Amino acid sequence: MIAIPAIDIMDASCVRLVKGRFDQQMTYDKSPLDTARAIEAAGITHLHLVDLDGARQGKPVNLPVLETLSKETSLRIDYGGGIRSMESIRKILEAGAEKVNLGTFLFSDPDIPKRCIDKFGADQLIAAVDIDEGRVAVKGWQQSTETDTHTAIEALLKAGWRYLSVTDISRDGTMQGPDPDFYRPLVKTWPEARFIGGGGVASMKDLELLKSCGLYAAVTGKAIFEGKISLKDLSQFNYPP
């Protein structure tokens, strides 16, 4: 399993939200570039970069941050937040992202998942399936849809998607630990998918638990900034299954 550290950007600073709520924000006194350099120095290869300004505004805002990190480090960056068009996907890839995380845009029209795959290919895209009480949440997790988890994943795989980042919103940013019963059924039902998990990770034990679920990768953010997991320890999870 690959462990992927997350940097959430708001107002050019590293922040973390609790359960995706903008009114529950913690700002950390570290620049995105300094944080990314520390991640790279620890021997970690991947980075999950979240544009929270973009998620709130409905368009990518922090592409200059992405460009800087991609030029100044060798990290393999996946970028998400506020992506609502094919043009935004193109700009993000041109700015240096290896993969683009798409959530709200995917669920705005049933034809979009297939169109994205046809244009950019499965290896450059990650479907962000963010779950709130069994339903897909969109628009920066501020709105729930009527689409359930099973329906969403089935449709994406049928359209050719390979990487799916499935987040349990109820645990994100809480450091309460992940729920293995949330992920194990997904891996068992769709073994062909590369599932990326996250939400609530607070310790190396939590990462081991997610690894035991058969996930391709796991994302953690707050636990790193809070000093619960060191980058050195995180680097132990640096290889795909």
For residue 14, pLDDT beyond 80: no
Position 22 scores a pLDDT of: 44
Question: Is 123 a known active-site residue?
Answer: no
Choose between 230 and 143: higher pLDDT: 230
% of the chain at pLDDT higher than 70: 90
Least confident of 26-30, 34-38, 218-222: 26-30
Whether residue 241 is contained in a domain is answered as no
Residue of 51, 53, 130, 132 marked catalytic = 130
Mean pLDDT of 140-154: 81
Q: How far apart are CA 220 and CA 16, in angstroms?
A: 11
Residue of 8, 132, 168, 206 marked catalytic = 8
Mean pLDDT of 179-205: 93
**Domain span holding position 42:** 2-234
Question: Is 8 a known active-site residue?
Answer: yes
Torsions phi, psi of 209, nearest 5? -65, -45
pLDDT single digits (tens) 105-134: 999 899 999 999 999 999 999 999 988 878
For residue 176, pLDDT beyond 90: no
Tokens linked to 34: 């300094």
Mean pLDDT of 186-198: 96
Torsions phi, psi of 213, nearest 5? -80, -10
Q: How far apart are CA 211 and CA 214, in angstroms?
A: 5
Whether residue 224 is contained in a domain is answered as yes
Whether residue 240 is contained in a domain is answered as no
CATH number at residue 128: 3.20.20.70
Whether residue 239 is contained in a domain is answered as no
pLDDT single digits (tens) 208-217: 999 999 999 9
pLDDT single digits (tens) 87-99: 999 999 999 999 9
Whether residue 125 is contained in a domain is answered as yes
- Spatial CA neighbour of 199 closest among 44, 55, 20: 20
Choose between 225 and 233: higher pLDDT: 233
Whether residue 167 is contained in a domain is answered as yes
Strands 217-220 and 194-198: parallel
> What is the DSSP code (8-state) at residue 50?
E
Q: How far apart are CA 48 and CA 17, in angstroms?
A: 15
Number of domains in the chain: 1
Strands 217-220 and 2-10: parallel
